[in-house]
Structure 1
């Protein structure tokens, strides 16, 4: 019984370390993407943006992500640019961003820098929180 408990504790610790390493990797990737502006020419600058990646065969995109984006579009109006891109048509960008699944969403600041990247479905609450963080960072004196 004690052996099983020790194995469970060890597995939990290993999974915890893997999770921390993945989060650190994602933070480093976002820092690099923020300086590269990968959406230049695809998404206009001047206001925050949400870019959603989808595929025609993606049921979750149609059933959950698209309706969530539409509700945000109605709520936020023209204060946020919401764009949907085909993952197939933008395969190089998808690879560059490290997107492994659709739906996926990227949050851009008003200058076009990637500030958040969501793998999988992101609900309105999460997207609004990420947009709020972008707006707060953009408005702070140290953000310039």
Structure 2
């Protein structure tokens, strides 16, 4: 119950965050969708599940669209810790594994083809987990509920559909 309450409060915190330039497109399960008309961009976003391990950063997953750049469905993870140099970053989504790239505290897919495969996997899975090693060499992971992810991604796509 407490975990579910936490997930309900996270999207509310995202909406109330100081980035005033963005418009809320809705909250869907554990995910939310936003439009930032100043960039312009739209994105679906979720916070990682709570963890007992220490965090350097608040981890989140985002699927973004930048219509003027021709980018859509771009996968990005803000990890809870800085990565070890040359660390292997693995994403597990519904029985599929993806080797991500990244640096600092961030990870991405390696190309548009992988973005599309990850987004497709997210649409039919219940959760996803990013696993890697931090700068001290310790293994860690960030896990995400995918409840509402498909609807939030669709809302983000629709939110930027008219921008060319």
TM-score by length of 1: 0.31
Point out the structure with max Rg over C-alpha: 1
> Of the two structures, which has the highest relative contact order with CA contacts closer than 8 Å and spacing of 6 or more?
1
Q: TM-score normalized by structure 2?
A: 0.28
